[in-house]
Amino acid sequence: MEFVAESRGGRRARTDCAVAGVHEGGELTAEAADLDRALGRRITRVLRQGDFAGRLGDTLLLPDLGPGPAARVLLAGLGSRKGWSRRSYRRALSAAAPAVLRCGARDALLLLSAGDVPEVDAYYRARYAAELFGQARYQIPALKSGRRPKPPRLDRLRVACAGRADLAAAQRGVLHAAAVVAGASLTRDLANLPANVCTPSHLAGVARALARAHRRIRARILGEPELKRLGMGAFLSVTSGSDEPARLIVLEYRGGKAGSAPVALVGKGVTFDSGGISLKDPPAMDEMKFDMTGAAAVLGTVKALAVLEARINVVGIVPACENMPSGSATKPGDIVTSMSGQTVEVLNTDAEGRLILCDALTYSRRFRPAAVIDIATLTGACVIALGQHHSAIMSNNDALAEQLLAAGRRSADSCWRLPVGEEYFEQLKSNFADFANVAGRDGGASTAASFLWRFVDGLTWAHLDIAGTAYQTGASKGSTGRPVALLVDYLLSRT
């Protein structure tokens, strides 16, 4: 889908479907009012008849308005004028997008982003609109037999901005949105695929394909013999029960100056987490195919940067494997030696994410990164603490944490800071090894992060626990594409 920002008002625009914002009480946005005049006040008549109250999230399609600039008009409720906010703006967009996609329009013109939205500038007004429509258009890779559902016809979204002054910012907004949508769609595709399709080798193949498609990307794939040579005993202990070979994927994006230190993105790529010998309970175990979303977000973010030709150096590092029980699986009590030399007593084989990440974090040092960010569906405790709204962020650097928090707020892909460090790390003590891979239930998200913290001494590091935000459960089960928007926003802010 193509996204365009336009400063031309609704009056002169011709479109298959104009989306006209209406506040409670019948107040139209300035551009929708323009359109109404061009349509001989037909929208006003519909409102006077009492057919549409403008409640936030309501929509009403007026399919045949006769001759005029718009073949259809979709009324989009904006709620009360007084409560008008970033949240209601995004909510109205989220409601309008599926309604536009359901009708037959190939081209749509948004007339609700022109006016002021509190705390949102022209760039983000346009970016949110394009991002939410792009995300709504996403379709899960179809593995259902029978007729494929037709893709929506909409192939062009035009976002009207207030005037000439806003145009350049809005154009940048839709450009960045298109890249975020491309990246997040890759992330969602990979995460939604079942674990028998999306294996570590499959992820490696996707990384190679990205490198072929974009000249600034280079991919290197390491197999198990190389991981052994590197001494990645922690990573290898997780894959030992599986018949699928593990991979370490290294994806370099070089868009910045030759000498400038890269940002390292380390993504947890457990393509299926059964728990291993510490087997998980059956209910919802299928959702552990999403346990590679951190990895998928790294690939998606690198793709978005390449689409934008962003002027930054980034290295993606993805340890990818399965966590399975078998005769060769790691057993509770086994002691493994990490690449850093520190030994770990594996008290629970279901705390596997930290074991693959610690070796990948150690590996990241060879790139002398300016900052290292790991992204992982790491703990159920994080979901208990924060629910589905915010990812957790833990960091050993306040400036980096603040930058990521700010990027999350701006991109509406937010995170919330939780503590990490010595006092939580102490809960991991072991009688037999340097430390254990689990502590008690208390503060589980922070003890997991503090395990990683032991491997990033001297690095500027942040950890994003996305266990609650990576995917939705229930009737709308599926990957959300988070936190690609957050990561792209952060990385662009560094350029």
Annotated active-site positions, please? 280, 354
Q: Which range, of 215-223, 344-352, 382-390, 408-416, touches Mn ion by CB under 5 A? A: 344-352
Nearest-angstrom CA–CA distance, 104 and 375: 39
- Residue, CB closest to ligand BES: 380
Bridge-based pairing state of the strands 415-417 and 73-79: unpaired
Bridge-based pairing state of the strands 247-254 and 217-222: antiparallel
Site for Mn ion contains 350 (CB under 5 A): yes
Query: Please, which residue, 242 or 301, has the CB nearer to Mn ion?
Result: 242
Alpha-helical regions (H) of 20-85 = 30-38, 42-48
Whole-number minimum distance, CB 259 to Mn ion, in Å?
39
Site for ligand BES contains 438 (CB under 6 A): yes
Query: Contact, 435 vs 374, CB < 8 A?
Result: no
Per-residue tokens: 11: 């009056």
H-helix or E-strand spanning residue 388: none
Handedness of CA 75, 77, 81, 84 (dihedral sign): negative
One residue of 6, 291, 359, 374 binding Zn ion per CB under 5 A: 291
Site for ligand BES contains 234 (CB under 6 A): no
Per-residue tokens: 246: 């593990």
Nearest-angstrom CA–CA distance, 435 and 344: 5
Interface of this chain with ligand BES, residues 289 to 348, rule: CB under 6 A = 291, 348
Query: Please, which residue, 273 or 322, has the CB nearer to Mn ion?
Result: 273
Q: Which of 426, 266, 236 is nearest to 346 (CA)?
A: 236
**Site size for ligand BES, by CB under 6 A?**
16
Q: Which range, of 210-218, 293-301, 343-351, 445-453, touches Mn ion by CB under 5 A? A: 343-351
277 binds, among Zn ion, ligand BES, Mn ion, none (CB under 5 to 8 A by kind): none
Query: Please, which residue, 209 or 284, has the CB nearer to ligand BES?
Result: 284
348 binds, among ligand BES, Mn ion, Zn ion, none (CB under 5 to 8 A by kind): ligand BES
Residue with tokens 């967009």: 93
Site for Mn ion contains 273 (CB under 5 A): yes
Nearest-angstrom CA–CA distance, 238 and 274: 11
Helix, strand or coil for residue 120?
strand
Please classify residue 352 by burial: count the beta carbons closer than 10 Å to its beta carbon, then call 0-12 exposed, 13-18 middle and 19+ buried. buried
Omega into 483 within 30° of 0, i.e. cis?
yes
One residue of 294, 353, 444, 481 binding Zn ion per CB under 5 A: 353
Q: Which range, of 34-42, 88-96, 351-359, 386-394, touches ligand BES by CB under 6 A? A: 351-359
Handedness of CA 131, 132, 136, 139 (dihedral sign): positive
Of all residues in the chain, what percent are helix, strand and coil, respectively (each to 5)? 40, 20, 40
Interface of this chain with ligand BES, residues 458 to 477, rule: CB under 6 A = 467
User: Rounded to 10 degrees, what is the CA torsion of 39, 41, 46, 48?
Assistant: 170
Cβ-based neighbours of 339, under 8 Å, separated by 6 or more: 230, 231, 232, 233, 234, 235, 358, 359, 362, 363
380 binds, among ligand BES, Mn ion, Zn ion, none (CB under 5 to 8 A by kind): ligand BES
Which amino acid, one-letter code, is at 258?
A
Q: Which range, of 13-21, 87-95, 376-384, 399-407, touches ligand BES by CB under 6 A? A: 376-384
Whole-number minimum distance, CB 438 to Mn ion, in Å?
10
Interface of this chain with ligand BES, residues 239 to 298, rule: CB under 6 A = 273, 291
Query: Please, which residue, 100 or 347, has the CB nearer to ligand BES?
Result: 347
Site for ligand BES contains 377 (CB under 6 A): yes
Q: Which range, of 104-112, 145-153, 156-164, 379-387, touches ligand BES by CB under 6 A? A: 379-387
Query: Please, which residue, 107 or 273, has the CB nearer to Mn ion?
Result: 273
One residue of 58, 107, 273, 413 binding Zn ion per CB under 5 A: 273
Q: Which of 135, 130, 91 is nearest to 110 (CA)?
A: 130
- Catalog residues that contact Zn ion under the rule CB under 5 A: 270, 273, 291, 353
- Catalog residues that contact ligand BES under the rule CB under 6 A: 273, 291, 348, 350-353, 377-381, 383, 438, 444, 467
